[in-house]
Amino acid sequence: MPGSPIPKVPTDIERENLNREELLALLRDVTEQRDNLLSQFESMALQVDESVREIAADVLDAQLSERKAKASERHAEQEATHAMELSLQLDEERRKRAEITAEFARFREAIARAPVEDPWGVLWRAASQIVSDWVAWARAKFPPDSPFLPWFDRAIALLKAAGRLAFRCVKALFEWAQPRVIELWKRLKSELRRQ
């Protein structure tokens, strides 16, 4: 103990003079002081150990908080980058939509101003332009190295040929039926007037 004085240890001559009981009492005092010092050292070691644990826990908490902050910052940066990319894509889509709208407006204007000498030709061109745009859009959805792309092209070629044939058939049928329907309408009109 810091406040208690250390007992004086007797010299050799004095030791001879001391009797056994005095030696035992002196040994008990020294043992007790040793035990007190050991218990003080143990309590100090426990306090140091607890302090080290607290400091280590605080350091770990600080490191964990720092990692979380860095991860949150990275996540926020990634979200901002993703939002910017989406914004650019949205602007690009709007630009494309405006181009398509302008193209359709020009097409409508050209159709409105064009003299209709061959209505079947105008109808065929309009239908083929719309279908060609759809086909180009669908074809763009396939990857360039897709094994289905040649099959898609073949199917489109077959459908185009079938479409041309069907258009010619409908045109021929209409041209054949038009005078007959007009003649039938005139007869029906005259019959209705007679009655």
**Which H or E run contains 114?**
none
pTM of the model: 0.35
Place of tokens 């003080």: 40
Task: Give residue 154's pLDDT.
Answer: 92
For the chain, what is the total number of helices (H) and then of strands (E)? Answer: 4, 0
Task: Outline where 114-148 has alpha helix (H).
Answer: 119-140
Task: Give residue 1's pLDDT.
Answer: 45
Q: Which residues contact 120 (CB under 8 A, 6 or more apart)?
A: 171
Q: What is the pLDDT of residues 33-71, one digit of tens each?
A: 888 888 888 888 888 888 888 887 878 888 888 888 888
Place of tokens 């239908």: 127
Is 36 in contact with 2 (CB distance < 8 Å)?
A: no
Q: For the chain, what are the domain ranges?
A: 1-114, 118-195
Q: Which segments in the chain show pLDDT lower than 50?
A: 1
